Amino acid sequence: MTGRTLGTARLAALLGLALAGLAAPAAAAPADPVAPAPLIVNPDARRPASLDGRWQVIIDPLSSGDASPVAAGVEGAGFYRDRRQVSPLELIEYKFSDKVTLKVPGDWNAQDPRLFFYQAPVWYRQTFQRPKAGARHFLYFGAVNYAADVYVNGRYVASHEGGFTPFNVEVTDRLKDGENLVVLKVDSTLGAQTVPTAKTDWMNQGGITRSVRLISTPKAFVRDYVVRLADRDARRIAVDVEVDGGRPGETVRVDIPELRRGAAVRLDARGRGRASFAAPVDLWSPERPRLYDVTVAYGGETLRDRIGFRTIETRGGDILLNGRPVFLKGIAMHEESIRHPGRSFGTEDARAMLGLVKELGGNFVRLAHYPHDEATTRVADELGLLVWSEVPVYWSIDWKSDKALASATTQLSDNIVRDRNRASVVIWSVANETPMSEPRLAFLRKLVATVRGLDDSRLVSAALFGDPFGFFKQYAGMLMARIALDPATPAAKREAALAWFEKQAGSRPDEARLRALASQTNHVVDDPLGDDLDVVAYNQYFGWYPAGFLARALPMDEPTLRLAELALMPEMRIEPRQDKPFIISEFGADAKGGFVGDENTIFSEAFQVRYYETQLRMLANSKKLRGVAPWVLKDFRTFLRTHPDYQEYFNRKGLVDEKGNKKRAFDTLRSVYTGRNPLPQMRAVEAAAGPTGR
């Protein structure tokens, strides 16, 4: 670089700084962003105004809308101001226009092929009329992925991080008579300290992905309430309420009109109150998903909700629903629609997906790997589906990062506050497939404590990965011993197996030693986090991933290892170290819908059927097994799956394809859940339980 060029660059930077100091108001997001207001529960109870529809957008890959590309620390174009040219001498190099719009709710990746891989900022613009005067007003966002800065009428309001939890910002003092402007900077970029981090096995779909509402409230209003059973006998109902702006001694009336029962809840100095009242209710269960109308009245405003009542607990190795053992006949599910491309949202999408779970014969759904739309848990309430709800603490989080812990804790807390009135939600999950370490254990134990502090009426779990590398040493020995013992093994492969043992141990094993190695079929899931959980859950893919992994480490080809693995699996027994209920929270194999193939062909529907049948024979051996949630209900988008013939950026482990067409394995699992070919543990639990509702 010449001295003259360097001088020009410095001059430009200094000029930019000077002009920014003169012209830019203090409206851009500060270095320390403002947090949203505490969450308002049940937003639809106030009949909010919808801001859904087409929003004007600016695609901003260099983030020039708020940061100068010339000098660090200097404001950029200021898209949030929405400036319009008054004089032809004004240079404004951006414009919101009806020529460039995106649908809200919706992810941008599915709406424009040019944005399929896009992960960077997009600015959204919408206008709305000021509601009635004398009220308080909040913008409520069901979800924005991943980070959002909110501006109203050109002024910064608040920021939010986390792509799957709701947030609301108060805008009362920002509104004016007539038309008002809201601009969001939405940034889907993930990094080392975000939750989740940058690498996930689902598509990072950016945008305003759930509905936007404008909520109007009185000056003092019920912000939060929890209505639940106060005892296991279903004779009393307990209620907690929180009033924003409430005064000590005021009361909130909570009633179940059908039962003509209720209570007046007296507020304390913090605007909170607690009470209970006698109300013998019929319990909610999958067989009879009983819901009651509940009203919450304060200050001339009455909120209505539909709430079910049930108990969930554990006793030894059993999960008890309403005091009776229950076997969780489940499936995992991503939030991706079969009705339209892209991320699911709203009641109709929820009914379509959860309807497939009911058709499968299931009573349980694992909502992976993040909080799903509130509509999903409400529909689960109606349909009678038990729900596992999870936060995206996934794979390799920065376990030592205070920022990551704060983000995970906030997302977990907001998820619980939003859904703790939903009878369907029975398990809060704090993580998925996290590799063991002391920092990880400390991180996750703090999340478990957060759950127990906010909601002690449900179970806590996490989808554990165990110590796969430690177990693979034993697993490799089993497979190689079986290959060596199999009389059908070609001599060259048998020699390779024996030579491997000799290299490992210094001598070749005799037949007795090989048989001893081949019979070590017990696998203990031993993760210290299991000591802190109510239910131990385990993800395993025996028969799918291990053969390919081991083929890269052993002197044996993958087909030989896979056939040995499939032959071994029916003899394996998987159990947790702890005396607690045990769930297999994932197993699965990819199959391209319509590619029937044969049972020895990977990616074929025939192989997927064989895989499911083998897995189910293996799981029949696990005495503590109290539930299964195979991976996954529907094929879903992911950048990790690139095979152009079979995957096409889809994870193909679904039992239905991306359009909802059922694969052959759908009926394989349905035959288990509907009792045509039940697991023995399922049969025993259901025989002991009888009906779970009354």
pLDDT digits (tens, 9 = 90+) for 254-313: 999 999 999 999 999 999 999 999 999 999 999 999 999 999 999 999 999 999 999 999
Distance (Å) of CA 215 to CA 49, 125, 171, 239, 558? 7, 18, 10, 24, 58
pLDDT digits (tens, 9 = 90+) for 515-532: 999 999 999 999 999 999
Residue 594 has a pLDDT of 97
One domain, residues 85 and 129: yes
**What is the C-alpha separation between 694 and 684, in angstroms, rounded?**
21
Q: What is the 3-state secondary structure (H, E, C) of 610-630?
A: HHHHHHHHHHCCCCCEEEECC
**What is the C-alpha separation between 663 and 488, in angstroms, rounded?**
33
One domain, residues 437 and 478: no
Distance (Å) of CA 497 to CA 206, 493, 545? 49, 6, 20
One domain, residues 234 and 197: no
Sheet holding 147-152, edge to edge: 101-104, 53-59, 121-129, 179-187, 147-152, 155-161
Final residue before a domain boundary, out of 182, 217, 252 = 217
Are 397 and 376 a contacting pair, CB within 8 Å?
Answer: no
Phi, psi of 330 (to 5 degrees): -125, -175
One domain, residues 233 and 186: no
In three-state secondary structure terms, 103 is strand
Distance (Å) of CA 99 to CA 54, 55, 58, 102, 166? 11, 11, 10, 10, 29
State both tokens at 584. 């297999």
One domain, residues 104 and 172: yes
Query: pTM to 2 decimals?
Result: 0.94
Number of independent structural domains in the chain: 4
Q: Residue 219, Cβ neighbours under 10 Å: how many? A: 11
Domain for residue 301, yes or no? yes
Are 322 and 311 a contacting pair, CB within 8 Å?
Answer: yes
Torsion of CA 545, 551, 553, 555, to 10 degrees: 160
Residue 15 has a pLDDT of 39
CA 213-214-219 angle, to 5 degrees, is 135
CATH of the domain at 231: 2.60.40.10
Domain for residue 20, yes or no? no
Select from 454, 451, 457, 411 the least CA-distant residue to 308.
457
State both tokens at 14. 């200094």
User: Structural domain of residue 275, as residue ranges?
Assistant: 221-309
Residue 625 neighbours by CB under 8 Å, 6+ apart: 582, 583, 584, 619, 679, 681
One domain, residues 253 and 304: yes
Phi, psi of 168 (to 5 degrees): -135, 145
Q: Residue 618, Cβ neighbours under 10 Å: how many? A: 24
- The neighbouring-strand residues paired with 637 are 650
Final residue before a domain boundary, out of 167, 188, 217 = 217
One domain, residues 232 and 248: yes
Residue 316 burial (C-beta neighbours within 10 Å; 0-12, 13-18, 19+): exposed
Residue 12 has a pLDDT of 43
Domain for residue 18, yes or no? no
> Would you give the distance in Å from CA 439 to the centre of its chain?
23
CATH of the domain at 624: 3.20.20.80
Domain for residue 168, yes or no? yes
pLDDT digits (tens, 9 = 90+) for 192-209: 999 999 999 999 999 999
Residue 1 has a pLDDT of 37
One domain, residues 441 and 514: no
Are 169 and 138 a contacting pair, CB within 8 Å?
Answer: yes
Side chain identity at residue 328, one-letter code: L
State both tokens at 36. 């949203």
- The neighbouring-strand residues paired with 278 are 236
In three-state secondary structure terms, 569 is helix
In three-state secondary structure terms, 24 is coil
Final residue before a domain boundary, out of 155, 187, 217 = 217
State both tokens at 177. 């008579």
One domain, residues 364 and 429: yes
One domain, residues 564 and 655: no
Distance (Å) of CA 642 to CA 547, 639, 652? 20, 7, 11
One domain, residues 507 and 531: no
Which residue spans within 316-368 are E strands per DSSP?
318-321, 324-325, 328-333, 364-367
Domain for residue 13, yes or no? no
Pairing of strands 155-161, 312-315: unpaired
Position of tokens 């699996």? 569
- The neighbouring-strand residues paired with 64 are none
In three-state secondary structure terms, 688 is helix
Domain for residue 1, yes or no? no
One domain, residues 135 and 51: yes
Residue 5 has a pLDDT of 37
Residues of the chain with pLDDT under 50: 1-26, 692-694
CATH of the domain at 202: 2.60.120.260
Residue 620 neighbours by CB under 8 Å, 6+ apart: 679, 680, 681
Domain for residue 22, yes or no? no
Domain for residue 17, yes or no? no
